[in-house]
């Protein structure tokens, strides 16, 4: 195979990445070898599976827990997540603990085939032995076996060949579990371990290199968690950058966001909704605090290069007072004002602010376009859906209208971000249309 073909196959695998994991499920009598794990180990394994956000990718809506089958789009075709229940024929019931550890950390299945890095094994490589053992016990003895065959990918030959992933692993997989950093306290190290390992935050929030590898795996790299474009969304900057990152967030703000999906600065959307629903809201306060402490320690990086944001509503108020003179103001007045306010400050945590919102200030407007066209999934906190999810406007607004209103928002209240073009909206509308149809929301 040519280098170009190998790179393309590798790219498809890595681009599919960023959201896959392992996941929690229901109690069962499942076992494949050895005595049943004790209750404490099963409980710990279930908790770690939630920390890894496993359910989000391995459970389809209304499907059996961990039976796989969730479609994931890549530039070369669609792949489907796998069955990770302990069914011996279609799941991982035949895996030994060593087999499980190899798949988790190295991306190699029991039969020797390479997994796509959509399963974020470059992050899971940092998971410690005792946590791997607890996860194994949970998936073997705490998850109901489901007999459901895995689906082959829609990627056509020869691009579906997996041997180039062996080269990708040699180049980009860094082996070795997380080791505590000297000079840092226990909370910081716990937060770093969760963010870099099971939380696999870098899979979405770190930009990719020429081989579609994450450009940094920890805080020693300047690109780490500076934000990245992925599958029609821009995963936010998580560094201390003032405008587009977490520079204006307190640790309490960050903890609130991880627990509820909303705070005074922003609300969750896209894949982050699933992370809140399936993972972070279930974490204990100590781990939430540790994650917040670690993220707040990251120095400012990335960003939009603009001066520090300062709220100024004057010019926007003038436009909203005479919306007939401004195409974006007309759309905002008709569709947005009643939730987000004339002052742009919204009604947090129910309606996100737009003034100074890091996602509004970001250079890349993909998330704003996507959420305007397609709305947001329901945040479900402690079993209660959020009262006011963002509705989808792809059926009500033209490409030009979406571009007009987003340009208005990005310029308004002293946000100072760049305009959005109708062509950008059209491109993302077309890109997300198959997803909407597959989800029955078109």
pLDDT in tens, 26-66: 334 344 434 457 999 999 999 999 999 999 889 998 899 99
Average pLDDT, the chain: 89
pLDDT in tens, 84-128: 999 999 999 999 999 999 999 999 999 999 998 888 999 999 999
Closest C-alpha to 251, from 196, 288, 199: 288
Residue corresponding to tokens 């890095």 = 117
Q: Which residues are annotated as a binding site?
A: 54, 57-58, 201, 204-205, 336, 339-340
Task: Please tell me the predicted confidence (pLDDT) of residue 388.
Answer: 87
What is d(CA 99, CA 94) in angstroms, rounded to the nearest whole number?
Answer: 9
Instruction: Check if the beta carbon of residue 376 is closer than 8 Å to that of residue 274.
Output: no
User: φ and ψ at 414, to 5 degrees?
Assistant: 70, 25
Identify the H or E element spanning 251: helix 251-260
Span 186-297 CATH architecture:
Orthogonal Bundle (1.10)
Q: Which residues are annotated as a binding site for heme c?
A: 54, 57-58, 201, 204-205, 336, 339-340
Q: What is the mean pLDDT of residues 201-222?
A: 94
Task: Using a cut of 0.85, tell me whether the model's pTM lies above it.
Answer: yes
Instruction: Check if the beta carbon of residue 259 is closer than 8 Å to that of residue 268.
Output: no
What is d(CA 299, CA 222) in angstroms, rounded to the nearest whole number?
Answer: 9
Task: Please tell me the predicted confidence (pLDDT) of residue 229.
Answer: 92
Task: Please tell me the predicted confidence (pLDDT) of residue 136.
Answer: 97
Other Cβ atoms closer than 10 A to 398: 15
Span 314-438 CATH architecture:
Orthogonal Bundle (1.10)
Task: Please tell me the predicted confidence (pLDDT) of residue 433.
Answer: 84
Please report, for the chain, the start and end positions of each structural domain, with discontinuous segments joined by +. Answer: 3-152, 186-297, 314-438
Band (441; pLDDT cuts 50, 70, 90): very low
Look at phi and psi of residue 308 and say left if phi exceeds 0, alpha if psi is from -120 to 50, else beta. Answer: beta
Task: Please tell me the predicted confidence (pLDDT) of residue 160.
Answer: 79
């Amino acid at each position: 195979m040519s280098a170009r073909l190998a790179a393309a196959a590798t790219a498809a695998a890595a681009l599919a990445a960023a959201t896959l994991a392992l996941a929690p499920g229901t109690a069962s009598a499942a076992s494949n070898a050895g005595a049943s794990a004790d209750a404490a180990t099963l409980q710990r394994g279930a908790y770690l599976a939630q920390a890894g956000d496993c359910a989000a990718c391995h459970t389809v809506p209304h499907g059996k827990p961990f039976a796989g089958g969730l479609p994931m789009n890549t530039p070369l075709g669609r792949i489907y997540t796998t069955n990770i229940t302990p069914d011996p024929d279609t799941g991982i019931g035949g895996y030994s603990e060593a087999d499980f550890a190899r798949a988790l950390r190295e991306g190699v299945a029991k039969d020797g085939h390479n997994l796509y890095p959509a399963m974020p094994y470059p992050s899971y490589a940092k998971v410690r032995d005792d946590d791997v053992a607890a996860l194994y016990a949970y998936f073997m003895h705490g998850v109901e076996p489901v007999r459901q065959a895995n689906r082959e990918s829609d990627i056509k030959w020869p691009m579906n060949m997996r041997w180039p992933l062996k080269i990708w692993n040699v180049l980009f997989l860094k082996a070795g579990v997380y080791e505590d950093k000297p000079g840092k306290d226990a909370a910081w190290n716990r937060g770093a371990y969760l963010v870099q390992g099971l939380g696999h935050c870098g899979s979405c929030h770190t930009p990719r290199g020429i081989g579609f590898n994450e450009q940094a795996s920890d805080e020693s790299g300047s690109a780490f968690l500076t934000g990245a474009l992925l599958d029609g969304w821009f995963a936010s900057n998580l560094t201390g950058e003032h405008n587009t990152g977490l520079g204006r967030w307190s640790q309490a703000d960050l903890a609130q966001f991880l627990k509820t999906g909303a705070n005074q600065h922003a609300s969750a959307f896209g894949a982050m909704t699933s992370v809140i629903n399936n993972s972070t809201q279930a974490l204990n306060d100590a781990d939430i605090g540790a994650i917040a402490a670690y993220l707040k320690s990251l120095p400012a990086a990335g960003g939009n290069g603009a001066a520090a944001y300062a709220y100024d509503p004057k010019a926007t108020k003038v436009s909203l007072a005479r919306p007939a003179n401004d195409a974006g103001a007309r759309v905002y007045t008709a569709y947005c004002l009643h939730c987000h306010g004339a002052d742009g400050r919204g009604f947090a945590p129910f309606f996100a602010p737009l003034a100074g919102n890091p996602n509004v200030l970001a250079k890349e407007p993909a998330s704003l376009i996507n959420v305007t066209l397609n709305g947001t999934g329901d945040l479900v906190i402690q079993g209660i859906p959020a009262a006011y999810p963002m509705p989808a406007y792809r059926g009500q607004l033209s490409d030009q209208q979406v571009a007009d209103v987003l340009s208005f928002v990005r310029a308004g209240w002293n946000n100072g971000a760049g305009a959005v073009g109708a062509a950008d909206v059209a491109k993302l509308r077309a890109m997300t249309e198959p997803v909407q149809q597959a989800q029955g929301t078109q």
